[in-house]
Structure 1
Amino acid sequence: MLLGGLMTVAAPAFAQSWEPIEKIEHYRVNGTSPMELYQSIGERGPKLSLGRVIAHTTFKLTWQRDYQQQGQACVLASAKPKLIITYTLPKPVERLSPDVAAKWQAFYEGIVTHEKLHGQFMKDLTQQIQDVSIGLRDENDPGCKKVRAALQAQLKPISDAHVARHSEYDQVEMSPGGAVHQLILAFLNP
């Protein structure tokens, strides 16, 4: 594709493999009944702008990019990501009775499944960025300024779509009848 002197070479020809680092951090919740545990989640869960949540997934993404000058041309020869995904999840402090422990395990596994999909979204984002990065080229770009600006211009729509994807997913999952809503009801109801 040729746009104003910029050309993107198909990424598969330059594909670079990478693996994310995934970490789990727990916060402590008190109680021995489902209601006590859920109330403790409300008091101790990760705090976001709208209040506390059951669990949260964050990420840190950094890049090692190799811009190469080739005469008057500049090419983004490689872009290697370092993606660290951190899942923050609740963990009971007290020993639970077998029936509460079984309910907790089902609730916890459902929450992990939900958060792991957020993690997958972050992996997808990283791959999309790498795909548009590697091979980006401008034939008249001493100092590689045009290629850098072109990359930044491509990142905004990718980032906007990423934010919308997370938001839509949470809205569906947490709405009445959604998977997270069902997990909460199953955990709290006898």
Structure 2
Amino acid sequence: MNARQLVVLLVSTLAAVPAVAQEWTATEKVDHYKVNGTSPMELYQSIGERGPKLGGGRVIAHTSFKLTWQRDYQQQGAACVLASAKPKLVITYTLPKPTQKLPADVAVKWSKFYDGIVTHEKLHGQFMRDLTQQIQDISVGLRDENDPGCKKVRAALQAQLKPISDAHVARHSEYDQVEMSPGGAVHQLILAFLNP
């Protein structure tokens, strides 16, 4: 085999290798909202007045995200392939922060309460990472053999995103329902914080 044949073989072998998902990292941000008070009850009441709005009321904390994509659709003759899909995921945690110096005993209770809330919200953040990875996994390598203009591949991708998104919303909702129901982790955090 001469050098030219070897190059042709290598190029055709590389073309046959399935697309590989790119590495990516989420960016995390924390936004604090201010709560007033020096006792657990005052702080908790302030959370109820100032916490992030969600649905019809306010919550202790909230995790939101912004997800954008750089997608590389490549025309290969009549075929189209989604060769790469690189996400940019920004996760924002909105958490309470006391405005006043707390008495030592309240500060200890606040620290445990706050850490527990952060743990809860970080799992929401992990769900968002899972969603992003799932979208990348189904995106990269998506192909249609007769797709000039890459319209079919784009439509196929959009068709797969809705059920993934619906499952993602349900996962968050079920998690919160378990955590906040009587005996759930967040419910226990609140009780431990408020009770003497």
Partner residue, 1:163: 169
Please, what TM-score do these two structures have when normalized by structure 1? 0.93
State which of 148, 155, 172 in structure 2 corresponds to 1:142.
Answer: 148
Task: Determine if contact 1:10/1:135 at 8 Å carries over to the other structure.
Answer: no
- Rate the CA distance shift 1:168–1:30 in 2: closer, same or farther, 3 A: same
AA aligned to 1:121 is F
Q: Which residue of 1 aligns with 2:3?
A: none
3-state secondary structure, aligned to 1:25:
strand
Partner of 1:34: 40
Q: Which has the higher contact order (CA 8 A, sep 6+)?
A: 1
Task: State the number of aligned residues.
Answer: 181
User: What secondary structure does 1:76 align onto?
Assistant: strand
Question: Which residue is 1:6 aligned to?
Answer: none
Cα deviation for residue 50 of structure 1 reads 2.1
Inter-CA distance 113–145: structure 2 relative to 1 (3 Å threshold) = same
Where do 5+ consecutive residues of structure 1 fail to align? Answer: 1-8
* Secondary structure at the counterpart of residue 23 of structure 2: coil
Corresponding residue for residue 125 of structure 1: 131
Shift of 1:10: 9.6
Cα offsets for 1:27-52 (capped at 9, x unmatched): 00000000000000000000112200
Name which one, 1 or 2, has greater alpha-carbon Rg: 2
Structure 1 residue 189 corresponds to structure 2 residue 195: yes
- Listed as ranges, the gaps of 5+ residues in structure 2 are 1-15
State whether residues 23 and 87 of structure 1, in contact with CA within 8 Å, keep that contact through their aligned partners in structure 2.
yes
2:55 maps to 1:14:
no
Find 1:116's aligned residue among 92, 116, 122.
122
**Structure 1 residue aligned with 2:12:** none
Q: Which amino acid aligns with 1:61?
A: L
Contact 1:59–1:84 (8 Å) recurs in 2: yes
Q: Which residue of the partner structure matches residue 51 of structure 2?
A: 45
Structure 2 CA distance, aligned partners of 1:60 and 1:169? 20
Q: Percent identity?
A: 85
1:59 to 56, 65, 81: 65
- Measured on the aligned residues, the alpha-carbon RMSD in Å equals 1.3
Partner of 1:4: none
Secondary structure at the aligned position of 1:123 is classed as helix
3-state SS in 2 of match to 1:14:
coil
Rounded Cα–Cα distance in structure 1 between residues aligned with 2:56 and 2:171: 19
The yes-or-no answer on 1:102 pairing with 2:108 is: yes
Tell me, what secondary structure is at the counterpart of 2:89? strand
SS at match of 1:82: strand
Is 2:21–2:85's contact at 8 Å kept on the other side of the alignment?
no
Q: Distance in 1 between matches of 2:94 and 2:55?
A: 16
Q: Partners of 2:126 and 2:99 in 1: how far apart?
A: 29
* C-alpha displacement of 1:85: 0.2
- Partners of 1:41 and 1:10 lie apart in 2 by 54
Instruction: Give the alignment partner of residue 176 of structure 1, picking from 166, 172, 182.
Output: 182
